[in-house]
Structure 1
Amino acid sequence: MKAPTKSTVDVGGLAIMPFLSMESALDHVIRDGKVQSGVGVSVNSEIVMMARSDANLRNHINAASLRFADGIGVVKTVASKGVPNVRIPGCEFWEALMQRATQADIPVLLIGAKPEVNAAAVDKLQKAGLASVSGIHGYINDEQYIYDEIDVRQPKIITVALGAPKQEQLIARLHARYPDAFYLGVGGTYDVFTGHVKRAPQLFCRLHLEWFYRLCAQPSRIGRQFNLVHYLALHMMRRL
């Protein structure tokens, strides 16, 4: 596979950065043991469709320092424009990032998810060797409390699991106030990491059918899946 010939590729108004490996994306965050401050966004088809109708979300994503293709639909659209790239699943990227943080002894703050999920994620990371990790669950409505915790703990990596676009909105406010850290929105990653939500079996992952597995497990997601159909139609018509 040849190297990408473009630094970004437009997908539905979002400037996606093509990568050929997980490691090359991770280098944008931790390089030589040091954190590169900024904001990371994993982009799938649903996010593209949301950003098409939400200018604030679109601007937030395009202003991020790292914008990688999470969903296979986005990967295929980038490839259709003649630029090779690989899919980087957001949950796998987060776990790899935590491993690098452990190796470099980088302080991390986990924001979001239910109290028991957040606590379990912190505990699991600590047992894996990440000593400087703390958490704030997603049911705390006092944003000043989050600011105070950041002041005290001084994390260099802050990941937020509140779902889009809420997590992106919080990240924008935090980044404006504390620019010397790397921020990443991670959706339901803590739930998967701690086993509270089962990830799709490997067969579904290899066939890029995680969306179908999630739909079967949570039929209430059917409304959200229409975004995937709309995205596919736009992709086939080359209107992305």
Structure 2
Amino acid sequence: MERFGPARADRPGGASRPRIRLGGIGIDPVTESEAVGRVLEAFESGDGGHIVTPNVDILATARRRPELRAVIERAELVVADGAPLVWAAGLAKTPLPERVAGSDLVWSLAEAAAERGLRLALLGGTPDSAARPTERAVEVLEERHPGLKVVGAWCPPMGFSEDEAHWNALVERVQAAAPDLVYVGLGFPKQEFVIERLRREAPKAWFLGCGASIDFIAGYRRRAPKWMQRSGTEWLFRMCSEPRRLVRRYLRDDVPEALRLLAAALRERRR
């Protein structure tokens, strides 16, 4: 049976509020600006961290794989990147203040990094040697936020995390660059496992698992129009943009997960 309601959430980086339980995981009830504030406060105390941005797709995957739920629960900051999560929390009378999308956090954290003189690195993006989206994303971020210190932009080959030589080379680059913030855009769940390993090598850095956000920044992929982002239909835009990859997954796993989540919230409200 689905459980809603508060759960203990003592995390580094500022005063904590109880996490809201959704789909078997805890979500921090914070706004986007509060999430950025927590990260900045953590830097002052020398704490690193991991930001996970669950949406319905991530909930569906985590439901099938307990080891992924454990990774999410260990993260210092877990924010709701999915309108159905916000709707379900409201139905269950344990509201979340707003949707906090990873594709928005990459901009607000970069702005804060430029203002505070923090060092940013990008890991991931589509490995296209012609378009070079990761390098283009760096150019866009630096144009948008003058003074931003980008100290690394790495797009490793497929399978790098299972190849000792490639992994060791990445670790050396991360340690040499000494970033404060790292955007890891490798897709869930791979990016979360990579982050957990990299944190051992850079314990004072904050890592954001950001999915396709590096490609969005570079313009390599298009993000949904603002009205779709606000209405909770961004997933439909993504599915239509990449039908061969996403139609089956979204219709088989994600739509039923969203309906199950909302139905459980409604039962909790009535109870």
User: Do these two structures clear the TM 0.5 threshold for a shared fold by scoring above it?
Assistant: yes
| Residue 268 of structure 2 corresponds to residue 238 of structure 1 | no
The residue aligned with 2:228 is 204
Give the whole-Å Cα distance in 2 for the aligned partners of 1:110 and 1:132: 8
Shift in Å, 1:150: 1.6
The residue aligned with 1:120 is 136
RMSD, matched Cα: 2.1
Aligned residues: 236
SS in 1 for 2:232: coil
Shift in Å, 1:223: 1.3
Moved over 6 A (4+): none
The residue aligned with 1:91 is 103
Task: Give aligned-pair identity as a percent.
Answer: 26
> Counterpart amino acid of 2:78?
R
Shift in Å, 1:32: 8.8
The residue aligned with 2:13 is none
Shift in Å, 1:33: 7.0
Shift in Å, 1:126: 2.7
The residue aligned with 2:157 is 139
Contact 1:70/1:90, CA 8 A, preserved across alignment: yes
The residue aligned with 1:71 is 82
Q: Deviations over 1:55-82 (max 9, x none)?
A: 1211010000000001001111222221
Shift in Å, 1:30: 1.2
**Structure 2 unaligned runs (5+)?**
7-16, 161-165
| Residue 254 of structure 2 corresponds to residue 228 of structure 1 | yes
> 25-34 or 213-222, which moves further after superposition?
25-34
Q: Deviations over 1:181-208 (max 9, x none)?
A: 1111100001111111111112222221
> 106-115 or 229-238, which moves further after superposition?
229-238
Contact 1:138/1:161, CA 8 A, preserved across alignment: no
* 1:1-240 equivalent positions in 2, closer than 5 A: 7-19=18-30, 21-31=31-41, 34=44, 36-85=47-96, 86-113=98-125, 114=127, 116-127=132-143, 128-129=145-146, 130-139=148-157, 141=160, 142-220=166-244, 221-225=246-250, 226-238=252-264
**Structure 1 unaligned runs (5+)?**
none
Contact 2:52/2:79, CA 8 A, preserved across alignment: yes
Contact 1:105/1:132, CA 8 A, preserved across alignment: no
Shift in Å, 1:171: 0.4
Contact 1:14/1:61, CA 8 A, preserved across alignment: yes
> 172-181 or 186-195, which moves further after superposition?
172-181
Provide TM-score, normalisation by structure 2.
0.81
Provide TM-score, normalisation by structure 1.
0.91
Give the whole-Å Cα distance in 1 for the aligned partners of 2:258 and 2:197: 33
Q: Deviations over 1:75-116 (max 9, x none)?
A: 112222212221011100111001100111101111011250
